[in-house]
A and B are shown apart, each in its own frame.
Chain A
Amino acid sequence: MSDHAAFAARLRRILALMRKEGFQVVRDPSSFAIGIVLPVILILLYGYGLSLDVKHVPVALVAEQPSPDTTELQAGFLLSPYFDVRAVTSSAQAQELMLERKVDGLIYLRESYGRDTRAGGAPVQIIVHGTDANRARIIQAYAQAALAQSRSRNVVSGAQGGGQATVESRVWFNDANDSHYFLVPGLVVLIMTLIGATLTAMVMSREWERGTLEALFVTPVQASEILVGKLVPYFLLGMVGLVLCVLSSRFLFHVPLRGSLLTLCITSMLYLLVTLGMGLFISSTLKSQFLASQVTQLVTLLPATMLSGFIYDLRSVPLVIQAISMALPARYFVSLLQTIFLAGDVWSVILPNALMLGVFACLFLVMTRRVIRKTLG
């Protein structure tokens, strides 16, 4: 047989496998649910639902002796878009509100507040509900700002200037400091991780369990052909999900795309290969649908949320954890997407991260092929 004919036969076998896999995808509603319905639901739910922005925090202003001075301070909080302030006059009442979680913070003014503030400054206790530490810290910062504002009014009216340093801040890539801008690219990573790995996680183990893989072994089909035949249909399905994600982040959530579409496409396809390869590797190694699904869930869902830099900034974590996160492909894709969407084609970020994704893709696919072939022999 000539090389040409061998190649044609090979192509025919791959196409046949792809057709069979394609039928299976089309006939099983759950594959479609994962490939198309899930991305849409997730991007809508999370795109609108996930936010770290703090607004309208319920707080109580505790003034044991209400006076024009305390009312003035309260006005400062009322003007702030960040607080919904209510006045209470006893600290017992305020404590009860905190326990019931009706308020997230207390602004506590002592009885002598009026006197002290006129004398040059009174201590103001800002007590926050610390259970959600991040939110509590943001509330503290806003409360200090609101306090400073009412204070600077007093300073001006007191006409006793005296220089002070102020901070003029600019936040690059995200002028409005809107948490959606960084959450939505991360969300795309999370969704792609899930789609890729879950679509293929059971594909191989199902064939093992049902014995159909052994049936394949007696045909002329080779290990790499099985691999390609499994990969392509799910790759196409995953691409549909990816396109939906990118379109909605651009047009629904108005996250700017400052890099080029081409870079976005290439790196995303690379990542899709990584996750599909991961699923195939897990399912062909474990050979059991039950185990494959548990393991897939363990290595995708929470790690992609917690260890990828999607929400929690990896620059702030201990070195050991940074090292662990390097073994997870998701972190490279988060870095890529945040940069491509918000900053542009910064090659010093894109090239090393894309390279790592390439390495992971090759690694998973080569290992899967070995697992399949080894059992053949």
Chain B
Amino acid sequence: MLDSLRRIIALTRKELLAILKDPRSRATLFVPPIVQCLIFGYAATLDLNNARYAVIDQDRSAASSELLARFASVKIFKREAVLDNASQAADLINSRRVLLVLQIPQDFERRLQAGEIAPVQVIADGRNSNTAGTALAYVNQIVAEFNADWRAAHGRAAMGDRPILRAWYNPNLETRWNMIPALIGTLSMLQTMMLTALSVAREREQGTFDQLQVTPLRPEEIIAGKTLPSMLIGAVQATNVLLVAQLWFQIPFQGSFLVLYAGLIFFLLAAVGLGLFVSSIAQTMQQAMLYTFIVMMPFILLSGLNTPISSMPVVLQDFTLINPLRYAIDISHRVYLEGAGLDRLFDDLWPLALIGVGTLAGASWVFERRLG
């Protein structure tokens, strides 16, 4: 038992040395997660900013200028042009110069005073339907506020029930609060899987894998010696992302670090297990890399990182159940933003353990058969 442990540690040391001795590969392992986290923290936003719009005010009344003043006072909207007629609008939208065109028809104020419905026409560029939808939601909100104030000022009856909006766990609804904790798992998974897959493939290509066989190392010790270094590197990468989240973006951490790291261990085990499994099938480094990509792509895009899992068709929602990243993102959100304890993470932890043990067992089975 003790001997076995010593052999595993020796192999782990050798692996770490092999990975870290080259300064270029050291740099590719530790610098990119930090840089990516910084860039994506700013880039990956579904929040609306700098939404340019054009105005066609055919009414030129007190009411229409009051409505337009409201748009001018909202920071996310930027007025790009004032047009005389609707025919100019098409060109501005086609060439992507504006996102929205607001048109206030001639009888806007008259209709309001007559107690009728006064429509405001809005054209949105739907090439990015999410941006268009968010912008329209803001337009609706601004118009609703306009209505409430206009009615109050003109002595009309109030509008009925008024909504009061609150958001839990992310009070200002910033995409970044969602994105950065999710990157803890994502960024560490990307490279650890590839690292593991390539480390075995490289030994194969260079023939040193056969040499390992004639050492006293047993197959499960080789597996352990390949798993541990990758997990360690993954944990360091995750820590770096966590530090950026805390020190740079200053997203408040609600939970306990102990719980987060416990979850990370399970996740890294599953990710490295997958990497080893891929490498057990691959013959060359090229294949190991390509297969890793093939496995990782669906896992990243169907993890809930970019689009919510609940918006997927049921079949694909079921598919995400074998995706370790899905659980990792859930764990980091729950611990980071909601302050969940281990008791609430149980549903995430056991699938990860299952994936980890399953893939590692599969990999060692394939290795043994290849050798035998």
Contacts and interface: CB of A to CB of B under 8 A. Distances in A.
Interface in A252-301: 286, 288-291, 293-295, 297-298, 301
Interface string A160-177: 111111111111111101
A320 B128 CA distance: 22
A370 to B, nearest CB: 20
A179 interface: yes
Interface string B110-124: 011111111111111
A141 B137 contact: yes
Best-buried of B29, B43, B304 by chain A (most CB within 10 Å): B43
Contact of A38 (B121, B191, B297, B311): B297
Contact of B25 (A126, A130, A179, A291): A291
B120 A166 contact: yes
A134 interface: yes
B220 interface: no
B160 A38 contact: no
B188 to A, nearest CB: 13
Contacts of B319: 45
Given A181-B129, A316-B47, A130 B170 contact: yes
Interface in A188-218: 194, 198, 201-202, 206
Interface stretch (A224-232, A242-250, A343-351): A343-351
A140 interface: yes
Interface stretch (B211-219, B264-272, B286-294, B351-359): B286-294
Contacts of A162: 115, 151, 156-157
Interface in A336-362: 338-339, 342-344, 346, 348-349
Contacts of B136: 167, 169, 171
B333 interface: yes
A166 B147 CA distance: 9
A99 B193 CA distance: 32
Interface stretch (B5-13, B91-99, B240-248, B360-368): B91-99
Best-buried of B67, B294, B297, B311 by chain A (most CB within 10 Å): B311
Contacts of A150: 161
Interface stretch (A1-9, A11-19, A47-55, A85-93): A47-55
Interface in A95-153: 98-100, 104, 117, 120-138, 140-141, 143-145, 147-148, 150-152
B70 to A, nearest CB: 11
B300 A131 contact: no
B127 interface: yes
Nearest to A37: B294
B96 to A, nearest CB: 6
Given A134-B175, A147-B163, A320 B42 contact: yes
B312 interface: yes
B194 A294 contact: yes
Given A121-B162, A170-B122, A52 B115 contact: no
A366 interface: no
Interface of B: 24-25, 28-29, 32, 36, 39-40, 42-52, 67, 93-96, 99, 108, 111-134, 136-137, 139-141, 143-144, 146-147, 150-151, 156-171, 173-175, 177-178, 190-191, 194, 198, 202, 282, 284-287, 289-291, 293-294, 296-298, 300-302, 304, 306-308, 310-313, 316, 319, 333, 337-338, 340, 344
13 contacts: A73-B161, A128-B166, A129-B169, A130-B168, A147-B163, A161-B115, A163-B114, A167-B143, A172-B125, A289-B286, A291-B24, A293-B198, A306-B39
Closest 5 CB pairs of A and B: A174-B126, A130-B170, A130-B167, A162-B156, A141-B137
Given A49-B301, A53-B311, A133-B167, 12 more contacts: A37-B294, A126-B163, A143-B163, A162-B115, A163-B115, A165-B119, A165-B120, A174-B129, A289-B285, A298-B36, A313-B128, A338-B127
